[in-house]
Structure 1
Amino acid sequence: MSPDRSAVRGRSWLALADAYIHSIRSAATESDLRTLMEAVAHEIGCRHFALIHHDDFRQERQDRVDLKDYPSAITERLFGQRRYRRDPVIRACVFADSAFLWSDLPRIIQLDGQDRASLEFGLAEGLNEGITVPCIRLGECMGSCTFAGMRHPHNASSYLGPAQMLGIFAFQAARRLLPAGQSIPAARPRLHPRHRDCVVLAGRGLSNKEIARALALTPRTVDGYLTEARRLFDAHDRTELVVSAVLAGEVGLHELRPRQPE
């Protein structure tokens, strides 16, 4: 399934991406797609890749894309321990418009101590620089395509364009290869209107007092609404809450982006 590398050697990255896209679109099995993703990762100079829906994979899911080659410790941390909603790369997908470098994360989201600890853990497992492509389809769980563990991170920015194209087509192919008849409904915990308003404003970075002033509520009432919302989504903090609400389709990306740091 992989295109003849001797035929694409020396071409522009655009031509190389076009060659792989043709093969990706023709992939007939998950094994074919995995082989192609491994080849693409190699061409980009990466050791690992992940083509996933952002969801809970502690139990096998037939209605979600889950094709990855990550170190086992990373897989256990993100999905075995259910930390994916708090992961800075997955969280950045909520706010990024297109493919982004991991080194640009501070420009997309505000990193805190937990984020830095996550990135340091990944670095220790060989995940240094990476490129992630958000994959969004209206009414479905969000997903992404990632290439990580770069051998030559100083060249990473030159791969953004090809990664964007390849990532989108690869995710479409992975969706197509899901078992026939499987739908991909978004998780649907439903927020009451006032709870939702509080979550949206929390996602814009407002404190409870600021939310209370904006909505003419008391800070105690806001705290109660956010606590109930966290319980609904089984979220440990407001960061997990906002990401969970977006992944479930309860909050739109456009409602959060205007207040995000440049």
Structure 2
Amino acid sequence: MARNARDFVARVTAASDADELADSLALVSAAMGFQYYAVSHHVDIVRAGGTAIRVHNYPDRWADYYNANALGVSDPVHRASHVTSIGFAWSRIPDLVPLTARDQRVLALGSEQGIGDGFTVPANVPGESHGSCSFANEAGRPMPDSVLPLAQLVGAFAFEGARRLWSVRSLPADANRVLTDRQRDCVLWAARGKSDWEISRILGVSQETIACHIKQACERYDVNKRTLLAIRTLFDGTLTFTDIFRR
């Protein structure tokens, strides 16, 4: 397991395109005893075009059905991955999220297409679309439980490798975009729903100064709405959801 992990990490780190990533996933999946793999953003893949991560070797018929019905958004496997921080066997999905009749049909359809139990590793990065890396076998083939710790590690590195190749965080490290401490404070309180007047009372400066700081922050991010400004700062890590909601 340790040797397979080292080899895979080296290969996925060196992968220069999606084909090399797919080759690496095929090799390590087979070594772990899985037939299928899928690294994907949880979005409507067709509408997203080439901007969303998607590398898999599922049967074509199932992949076509999956895309045509935009299951990337509502797939119960994907939804279950949003409520846990570690990998899980698909047989545990009912313990993680409630399953509707439609969910049951989707899982049954997958089984009819020859896909049995699987193991999914969540990849949820604040400010980005949720994603995951899954491994699965044909229906009726047992889950190789002894390799699940390796699958957890492989899944994490596989998705991170895909993020690098797809340039998910495409914003450059531009010094002109970095906010001043005071601008960040203003954007943070605005993201919490405070008005300029309320922020001025909190920070002890004039309302005009607050408006100026937020205007300059918008200019740095090339946006003209405070909502977009908050989203962009979440996306690049200037702010976090914990900052805003003070959890």
Deviations 1:122-157 (A, max 9, x none): 111111011111111111111110111258854432
Q: 1:176 matched to which residue of 2?
A: 164
Do the aligned partners of residues 103 and 181 (structure 1) sit closer, same or farther apart at CA in structure 2, a change above 3 Å counting? closer
Aligned length: 174
Does the Cα contact within 8 Å between 2:117 and 2:143 map onto a contact in 1? no
> Is 1:81 equivalent to 2:61 in the alignment?
no
| Residue 200 (structure 2) aligns with | none
Residues 45 and 150 in structure 1, CA contact (< 8 A), matched pair in contact too? no
Report 1:193-212 matches (<5 A): none
Query: 1:152-167 maps to which residues of 2 (within 5 A)?
Result: 153-167=141-155
Query: Deviation per CA, 1:159-201, whole angstroms, max 9, x where unpaired?
Result: 2211111111111111111269846xxxxxxxxx9xxxxxxxx
Instruction: Tell me how far apart the structure 1 counterparts of residues 102 and 140 of structure 2 sit (CA, whole Å).
Output: 27
SS of the residue corresponding to residue 61 of structure 1 reads helix
> Equivalent of 2:120, from 126, 132, 135?
132
Normalising by structure 1, we get a TM-score of: 0.60
State the partner residue of 1:27: 15
Say yes or no: does 1:47 pair with 2:4.
Answer: no
CA contact (8 A) 1:99 1:133 kept: yes
Contact 2:51 2:166 in 1 (8 A): yes
The change in CA–CA distance for 1:171 and 1:181 in structure 2 (over 3 A counts) is closer
The residue type equivalent to 1:131 in the other structure is F
Q: What is the aligned partner in structure 2 of residue 146 from structure 1?
A: 134
Structure whose residues are more often helix by fraction: 2
- What CA distance in whole angstroms lies between the structure 2 residues aligned with 1:154 and 1:70? 18
How many Å apart are 1:53 and its aligned residue?
Answer: 0.7
Cross-structure match for 2:110: 122
8 A contact 2:41–2:72 mirrored in 1: no
Normalising by structure 2, report the TM-score: 0.63
1:45-81 Cα shifts (integer Å, max 9, x gaps): 2221111111112146333211111122322232211
What letter matches 1:35 in structure 2? D
2:57 to 66, 69, 79: 69
Unpaired runs of 5+ residues, structure 1, are 1-12, 184-192, 194-251, 254-262
Q: Structure 1 residues 127 and 94, CA, compared in 2 at 3 Å: closer, same or farther?
A: same
Structure 1 residue 85, shift from structure 2 partner: 2.5
Would you identify which runs of 4 or more consecutive aligned residues in structure 1 move more than 6 Å?
none
Q: Please, what is the CA RMSD of the aligned residues?
A: 2.5
Deviation at 1:104, TM superposition (A): 1.2
| Mapped pair 1:102 → 2:90 | yes
Measure, in 2, the Cα distance between the counterparts of 1:89 and 1:64. 18
Give secondary structure in 2 for the equivalent of 1:133: strand
Instruction: Classify 1:102/1:23 alpha carbon distance in 2 versus 1 (closer, same or farther; 3 Å).
Output: same
Kept after mapping to 1: 8 A contact 2:4/2:28 = no
Report if the CA contact (8 A) 1:63-1:178 is conserved: yes
Q: Any stretches of 5+ residues in structure 2 without a counterpart?
A: 172-192, 194-240, 243-247
Paired residue type of 1:129: D
Q: 1:155 to 1:68 in 2, by over 3 A?
A: closer
Greater relative CO, 1 or 2 (CA 8 Å, sep 6+): 1
